[in-house]
Structure 1
Amino acid sequence: MAAYIIALAVLGGMWGGTGVQAQPQFRLEMDEVPLREALSTVRAQTGLDLVYAERLVASRTSTCTYSGTGRKQALQCVLEGTGLEAQRVRRRQYVLVKAPKREVRGRVALSGYVVDEETGERLPGAHVYLTDLQAGTTTNRDGYFVLSALPSGAYNVRISYLGFETLDTTLTAGRSPARIALAPAPIESDEVLVQAGSTSAEDVSRVPGMTSVDLGRLDRLPSFTEPDLFRALQWTPGIRKTGAVNGGLSVRGADPDQNLYLLDGAPVYHPWHAFSLISTFQTGTLKNTNLYRGAFPVEYGGRLSSVLDAQMKDGSRQKPSATAGFGVLSGRFRIEAPLSESTSFMFSGRRSYIDKLIGRTHPVTDESGRRDTLRTGYYFYDTSAKIAHRFNEKHRLTLSYYHGRDDLDLRLPFDLSLDVDSWLRPTDLFFEVEQNWENRVLSAQHQHLLSEDFFVRSTAYYSGYRAQEASYVQPTTTASLASDYSVQLHDAGLKVDLNYHHSVSHEVSGGIKLSTLQFESTLDSELLRSATIARRRQQESELGAVQISGYLQDVWSPTPEWSVQPGIRASYFSGGQHVRVAPRMSAQYVVHPTWLVLRGSAGMHVQYLHRLRDRHSLAYDLVSSRWVPSSARVQPSTGLQFGFEARTHPWSGLSVELDSYIRSTSDVLVPSDVFQEKDEIEGPGINVGALLGQYTQGEERAVGTELSAVYGRGRWTARLGLGTGRTMVRAPGRVQSGLRWRPSDLDIPFSLRGALGWADASWNATLATEWRSGYPISAPVARYQVGDPVERDPVTYLYRPRLNNDRLSPYFRVDLTLGYSFQFLSADWTATLTLFNVTSRENELSRSYEPTPTGVNVQSQRGLPFLPLLEVEMRI
């Protein structure tokens, strides 16, 4: 905590001054000097930033004699008798306007809405920049922007948005909100696929660690099937998937459960389909997606590592449109249409058809003619819908819905022989499992423009996650185990956000959130040891909690070069009566809009939920895991994060960004016995105490540097991402190696990604490659046997004195994507061929060590080989 306070003090010192300094003396002596020349003299002596139209000063002269230390007085002296006056915009910045004849007019606001020219949808996160004042802002979630406390008059404005053409226009302050339409950028223009904003002054985001995704160009990136949001995010340095066919996203070495996923303001607790191969976020249904890493703004809370904030499309307000896509694994559709001048909707659906292609049931027979059934049924689906209604320019209401589900039905009749060609055959020994997991999300958002400067957004949501695992195992002809295990999570909440635009120098925001959480688990199992010996277990676990949180922050831009964003977030969690206060701070200094932009951030984050899974039982918890809330026994995890960024745009088409970070986390739950295998039939049960008994609280720290570069010229685009870092963990455990720091399971010292793309009006191609260090593993250093003189054979053990003392082989993969766009039957078509793992290198994903009486059997589990994947999309 002391380091955090020191860091905040250092950041504050950068803009707080260094003490009392002698005031400079200004001397002006002018007689009928052209006003333009007089103003240049004042600017040179006082350091004031003066903004004016050339036509105002072209024919005017100035007569002035002044000696003193007042900058404003010196400026007033020069303007005396010219018919002009200076109005202060912010510290040391003035706008020259005609002096009113009677009374001084009040300050006014420059406001408006930024929309998509083709669909009429409002664009959140668009950059609005006053080129003369070197001041700007971004549109909120309703596409609204405002720059307050400006002198009346016309201003040159530049408006830009990722994936759209930049627009230069002139807007007049003091009038009704303007409506600015941006045209989607043609394919031949900017080829940046994923970016965090350029380094030009008008596009510089004030939020360190923020990455925006150009959703319209995701089809250029290799993906496992259709364009996938999570695959695109993995091209950001420091973000990777924890496994080829399972796991989640790891951001800067953190566990996947430390990421917060939001869909229209509602949290999504398991955002994956197909055992983590495909994300639940349908790219075509989204209009805006931002990823925050590190010290993210105080508006977000509840996680330690990152926040993904995605918003669904409102639907086209101009004309109906439909899109359909068919890939190797799944098909999808989307419909958008206006219902009236003020109402629009969007509806989409997606379903896999693997079960339809290979069938759900397969008969098997043996030599004697005995028949049985092999079942391999699996599919997933999801649906999304949104309706948006505008009562007027000040009131807007949206209703969103999402439901996704995965369903697996598997039956494997097997024997225990090592004959691979015949192990699936009719037998009394078999394994059956029925698994399903689903997310259901409802969200209602109301945006209200109270005044030009005051905006209120209210969000009510419900998010539910449910997973069920029903299994039946018959390991012998007389023994069997039947188990039905389910987990459910219900999260309902209400959030109110307020934004007040005081001036171009201050934008104040605050909010409060109330949410209720319910956790439910059930287990019904029966173990039949013989025909007469059976054991039945029925358990239920219910937990509940209430969380209240609030935040307050100010975006302060004292000069065109400086932007400071202090904020604080406070929260209360009823489980354990925990209260936490988390301050955060970020600052940005524009050394030169093109050559160098610097950012620094520091923040505290709190996470009240821990995601765990049972490490013992084979009877349940095969796929799903449980969220366990903080309590008097379990402390919430707390993290401190510090970051530094440098960004440059040395020449046209090239942008380079360097990020460094330090992260320290306490009270994370770590397995107490990392070598525990799921070899127990019954397990300890599903009570939270039994689950927590398998974990211990530990610490985690990480440090790293990430370099990313994007270069685009003509039809070509090149991208490079380099990451170096270490993630270490320390926790008491059952391995007798002492309490020491060791590499975490997700520690990656080095990673390198590169992509080369080419595109014209019809064709596009992208060659992408990835190389990284292998994940840590715990390798045995010796083998020993423990025996008893009475027993015939001793028991062999492996000796692992240290955890994660070795690594898997380095990971390497090359993907190729080819796309072709054409028109056919009055529709626009796009065909995309993805060659996944072109080199067919089966990367090592895990390694196991099995002791034998004479040595150690080492087995490596490999990833997916070369896969050609085709996807066709139609738009009408």
Structure 2
Amino acid sequence: MSLRAWKQRLSRWQKCGLLGLLLTVGIGLPARAQSALVTIDVQNVPLAEALRQLEAQTGIRLVYAQRLIAHQRSSCRYQGDRIEEALACLLQGTSLRARRIRAGQYVLVATRASRRSWGPATGLLSGFVLDAQTGEVLPGAHVYLPDLRRGAITNAAGYFALPTLARAFYRVRVSYLGYAALDTILWAGGEPQTLWLQPVTLGIGVVRIDASRLPLEEQAATTGTFTLPVPYLERLPSFPGEQDLFQVLQWLPGVQRSGEVSGGLLVQGGTPDQNLYLLDGAPIYHPWHAFSLISTFQTETFKGIRLYQGAFPASHGGRLSAVLEAEMRDGNREQPRTLLGLSPLSARFIIESPITQGSSFMMAGRRSYLDQLIGREHPVEDENGRRDTLRTGYYFYDVSAKLAYRPGVRHRLSLSYYEGGDDLDLRLPFDFSLDFSSWLRPADLFFEVDQRWGNRLISFRYQYLPTRRFFVSTVAYLSGYRAREAFFVKPTGSAAVASRYTVHLEDVGVRVEANHYATLTHETQLGVQLVRRTFRSTLNARVQRAPRAVDTLVQRSRQQALEATLYAQHVWRPTTRWEGQVGLRLSRFEALAVEWEPRLSMRYSLSPDQVVLRISIGRYVQYLHQLRDRFSYVYDVVSTRWIPAGAGVRPAVAWQGATELEARPHPWLTLRTQLYYRRQRYTLLPQDVYQTKDGLEGPGIETGVLLGQYTPAQARAFGIEALVRIDRDPWQLWVSYRGGRSLNRAPALGEQRDRPARFDVPKALNAFIRYTRSRWEVMLAGELRSGYPTTVPVARYELSDPLEPDPISYLYRPDINNGRLPPYWRVDARVAYRFGWLGARWEVELYVYNLFNHRNVIDRRYEPTPTGVRVIDRRGLPLLPLLELQMEL
């Protein structure tokens, strides 16, 4: 072996020897520490200080939670070389003990008695989700724990709770459509957290749609539920440039309007009166303006919208088709904000501002101005010098306000007010037509109409968090609907009719609801509600057939009904894929029997984050029927009446079920399909569908007389709905399809088979595409659907009267709704430009209604003639360019 090789081997031996020496010393250090003499002499000192002395003397490491030793004190006198004995001396009387986990390392744990006194070992992750710019709470926000694949959705107060978590730090993702997702780390076991989400914007006032959402398996279990934030709804098509909630809801599958651009909402084959509209927890009975052209719900005044189609949880009842929850804005808690808007129909404003650190307010108003443009009164004069004044006054208005106060994290109070109505004042020639030149003259025969109708409500809400597992909400409200119809007509030189008809419905209610967050897998909701309803109607009429032949009619109708409701609902999440929601609603309406309404919904994730299946079934009861008189012109020209169930009429009852499949193959793509079926009993249909208001006097306004014009019937609705939704900046595409039937049958009228309902639409397709880039926005929207049913006569016959010179022709219509109007289709366009000027944000919008000027047939009448039948079609609106201007400070 060479000298060089010996040197290399000696060098390796030296290195190994040095490493062995270091290992020996390292291993021996703990042994020497344990055998070292330990001296402790402390009297009533903080335990943390005594433990630090022991660590300094021995070199050992102690692991413990600060909460275990907080406020603990130690008294100990020890001298020796055993670490375990020294620890036992220090921990004497503290209900703690030391456990050795490895050489030189100990952990302090609590005994069973100590754990009972210091609280559970598990923690609770809870808090509120708020808008970072305005301070508004965000109901429906998603809070998700990616590591556990568990999550929660914030309630109406923006509160969430994830209980029975191990006390540790967790990765948390908070998301809400239209806001940047928040990824953070939170500790389970502390006080409720406040999480702030930032709205994501691009350019000047252009809202981007954030595609990051809660995984599908953590969304609502109830089928047909849509929770959409207001910034998203504001970008959906809305005629005629108004920020109108009901106009945008018709783009959802299963929702349509009963008219071309006006009329009530029809949800899954139901009727407009089968929908419940809630504004800050209080019901709105007539949410329409301009003869159902636009709604009373201004999208900009809300912070959250939730729509239940067909199936809704046990906390809601009293309707059969749908429930719409709208929450007004609390007001900007960070800085004042003002918005002004001018549309073709109305002018509007919104003002919101903080008051103090914990309070804010919002106020909004809207009024139409057509009466100001064309004038309300028109003096006219004929060639003989005779003068008269014609009137063409009409306007609608809305006023809403909200005051919110949050004295602390656990308390929140709000006071909401809304008032809105319509005012119609007409005096026109009796034979008026669209020939406006004929109006501008005095008339011997004329009619006058003074119609006023509207809603008013006050709602007080107190939300309280007594413990982090309990959330209590109390709502007290007063809601009323009033309509007045003053009518005067002079059909001949000697005859005249004058009437004054009023309708008043008032609700006084209170609801207390408590949520208990037991564990991650169990959540319970209990609630009780009491509502006192008052129904009043009056009629004062004077019918003059000749100068000395005068009849008067004075009637009063008043009813009261008390509804008491108790409901319970339990949510069970056994795994990350399964969720079950079972509920029961018990209600009693006056002296009627107790009605039970079971509800069941289930959700199963077929593929995590991509495909989810939902199933819902339940029983629903509606105690109120909406009717109108079908005979007289003296009253009930515009207003409808709500008739309570009682001895003469049973409440409407429906069983309905739905199955829904939702898929998200990409974060920006959502596919949704639903099958539904509803079976309904005790709905009311007219006994004479062809009855016309051709008489001056009617049978009266008594409830029994009105019910005598209707008959109980059966109804069923079934169909399929599909939605394709793409939110990928700068594009947004929305395609919804619905196909199904809505059928009625009245056995009392001799009907043996189902017939199409009034608004039965077998097929409908809605679509729009929107492109947004910087300051510009361009959109195309289209609608294609089947025509509404119509009754086609099958024969014409004549009846002779000896006193009449000519026979009278009649049409024979044995089957109701045996025909159908032509298909309806329309394309709209919208171009918007946003810019900054004078320190404000401006938006100019051009909305072109019916871009191709296709005049759809929206109604068809048949009139007999001496030689046959004449068909009269009423067509829809032509092409209408509409301009809107909006300014925001």
Mark the CA change 1:422 to 1:121 in structure 2 (over 3 Å): closer, same or farther. Answer: closer
Q: Distance in 1 between matches of 2:328 and 2:487?
A: 37
Matched, 1:786 2:799: yes
Is the contact between residue 221 and residue 603 of structure 2 (CA under 8 Å) also seen in structure 1?
yes
2:671 equivalent in structure 1: 656
Query: Which residue identity is paired with 2:821?
Result: L
> 3-state DSSP class of the match of 1:231?
helix
State the 1:450 CA deviation: 1.0
Q: Report the Cα distance in structure 2 between the residues aligned to 1:853 and 1:592, rounded to whole angstroms.
A: 68
| Residue type at the aligned position of 2:769 | L
State the Cα distance separating 1:418 from its structure 2 match. Answer: 11
Deviates more, 1:120-129 or 1:207-216: 207-216
The residue type paired with residue 796 of structure 1 is: S
Structure 1 residue 288 corresponds to structure 2 residue 304: yes
1:561 counterpart = 2:577? yes
CA contact (8 A) 1:514 1:548 kept: yes
TM-score with structure 1 setting the length: 0.86
Residue aligning to 2:341: 325
Q: Which residue of 2 aligns with 1:46?
A: none
1:99 and 1:874, CA in 2 relative to 1: closer, same or farther beyond 3 A? farther
1:393 and 2:409 are equivalent in the alignment: yes
Say if 2:863 is the partner of 1:850: yes
Task: Name the structure 2 match of 1:170.
Answer: 185
**CA-to-partner distance for each residue in 1:613-646, whole Å, 9 max, x for gaps?**
0001111111110000000110000011100000
2:142 corresponds, among 120, 127, 139, to: 127
Structure 1 counterpart SS, 2:665: coil
CA distance in 1: counterparts of 2:708 and 2:805, whole angstroms = 35
* In 2, Cα distance between equivalents of 1:515 and 1:555: 27
Distance in 2, Cα, partners of 1:765 & 1:712: 15
Q: 1:468 aligns with which of 484, 499, 505?
A: 484
Rate the CA distance shift 1:99–1:688 in 2: closer, same or farther, 3 A.
farther
Give, in whole Å, the separation in 2 of the partners of 1:100 and 1:797. 98
Q: Does 1:862 align with 2:875?
A: yes
Residue-by-residue CA offset, 1:521-552 (whole Å, 9 max, x unaligned): 00001000011100000111001000000110
TM-fit CA distance, 1:788: 4.4
Q: Tell me what 1:647 maps to.
A: 662
Deviation at 1:187, TM superposition (A): 4.3
Per the alignment, do residues 99 and 443 of structure 1 end up closer, same or farther by CA in structure 2, a change over 3 Å counting? farther
Q: Which amino acid aligns with 1:484?
A: R
Q: 1:741 aligns with which of 754, 764, 770?
A: 754
CA pair 854-142 structure 1, distance change in 2 beyond 3 A: same
The answer to whether residue 438 in structure 2 is matched with residue 410 in structure 1 is no
Listed as ranges, the matches of 1:654-733 within 5 Å are 654-732=669-747
* Counterpart Cα distance in 2 of 1:639 and 1:280: 28
Secondary structure, counterpart of 1:101 in structure 2: strand
> Structure 1 632/848 Cα, relative in aligned 2: closer, same or farther at 3 Å?
same
- The match for 1:545 among 561, 579, 588 is 561
Residue type of the partner of 1:101?
Answer: V
Aligned to 1:347: 363
* Change over 3 Å in CA distance of 1:859–1:730 after alignment to 2: same
Q: Matched residues, percent identical? A: 48
1:614 aligns to 2:614 (yes or no) = no
The number of residue pairs the alignment matches comes to 779
Q: Which residue of the partner structure matches residue 811 of structure 1?
A: 824
Deviations 1:143-177 (A, max 9, x none): 11111111100111111112211111111100111
Equivalent residues of 2:510, 2:529 under 8 A apart: yes
Note closer, same or farther for the CA distance 1:358–1:733 as it changes in structure 2 (3 Å cut): farther
In the superposition, relative to structure 1, how do residues 100 and 828 fare at CA in structure 2: closer, same or farther (>3 Å)? farther
Match of 1:753 in 2: 766
> What RMSD, in angstroms, separates the aligned Cα atoms of the two structures?
2.2
Query: Is the Cα–Cα contact under 8 Å of residues 142 and 214 in structure 2 kept in the other structure?
Result: no
1:245 Cα shift? Answer: 5.4
The residue type equivalent to 2:607 in the other structure is H
Distance across 2 between alignment mates of 1:416 and 1:348: 38
Measure, in 2, the Cα distance between the counterparts of 1:416 and 1:135: 67
Residue 350 (structure 2) aligns with: 334
**Aligned AA (1:510):** L
* Kept in 2: contact 1:166–1:182 (CA 8 A): yes
Aligned partners of 1:82, 1:864: CA distance in 2, in Å? Answer: 85
Unaligned runs of 5+ in 1: 1-55, 57-80, 85-97
Structure 1 counterpart of 2:110, one-letter code: R
Could you give the per-residue CA deviations for residues 558-581 of structure 1, whole angstroms, max 9, x where no partner exists?
A: 00000000110000000x423100
Task: Name the aligned partner's letter for residue 756 of structure 2.
Answer: P
Separation (CA, whole Å) in 1 of partners of 2:430 and 2:539: 26
How far apart, in 2, do the equivalents of 1:711 and 1:819 lie?
21
> Does residue 462 of structure 2 align to residue 449 of structure 1?
no
CA contact (8 A) 2:632 2:696 kept: yes
How far, CA to CA, are the matches of 2:544 and 2:209 in structure 1?
61
State TM-score, norm by structure 2. 0.85
Query: Which residues of 2 match residues 220-299 of structure 1 at below 5 A?
Result: 220=235, 221-244=237-260, 246-299=262-315
1:82 is displaced (CA, Å) by 12
Aligned mates of 2:298, 2:708 — CA distance in 1:
38
Which AA in structure 2 matches 1:107? T
1:632 to 2:647 alignment? yes
Find 1:833's aligned residue among 834, 839, 846: 846
Deviations 1:414-439 (A, max 9, x none): 44899886476422110110001010
Match of 2:530 among 500, 511, 514: 514
Which deviates more, 180-189 or 854-863? Answer: 180-189
Contact 2:144 2:214 in 1 (8 A): no
The residue that corresponds to 1:379 in the other structure is 395
Measured in 2, the distance between the counterparts of 1:704 and 1:83 equals: 65
Matched with 2:495 is 479
Query: Measured at CA, do residues 445 and 367 of structure 1 come closer, stay the same or move farther in structure 2, by a change above 3 Å?
Result: same
> Shift of the alpha carbon at 1:297?
0.5
Per-residue CA deviation, residues 781-811 of structure 1 (Å, 9 max, x unaligned), is 1101122466532221101111100011111
- Within 5 Å, give how 1:88-99 maps onto structure 2: none
Q: Give the secondary structure class of the aligned counterpart of 2:724.
A: strand
Cα deviation code 1:679-704 (max 9, x no counterpart) = 11111111111100100000110110
8 Å CA contact 1:222–1:836 kept in 2: the answer is no
Alignment partner of 2:330: what SS? coil
Instruction: List 4+ stretches of structure 1 deviating above 6 A.
Output: 81-84, 416-420
**Do 1:415 and 1:425's aligned partners in 2 also have CA atoms closer than 8 Å?**
no
How many angstroms does 1:198 deviate by? 5.7
Q: Secondary structure at the match of 1:864?
A: coil
Residue in 2 aligned with 1:101? 109
Kindly indicate whether residue 440 of structure 2 is the aligned counterpart of residue 427 of structure 1.
no
**Corresponding residue for 2:517?**
501
Secondary structure of the structure 2 residue equivalent to 1:689: helix
CA deviation after TM superposition for structure 1 residue 285, in Å: 1.1
Secondary structure of 1:275's aligned partner = coil
CA contact (8 A) 2:217 2:604 kept: no
Residue identity matched to 1:867: L
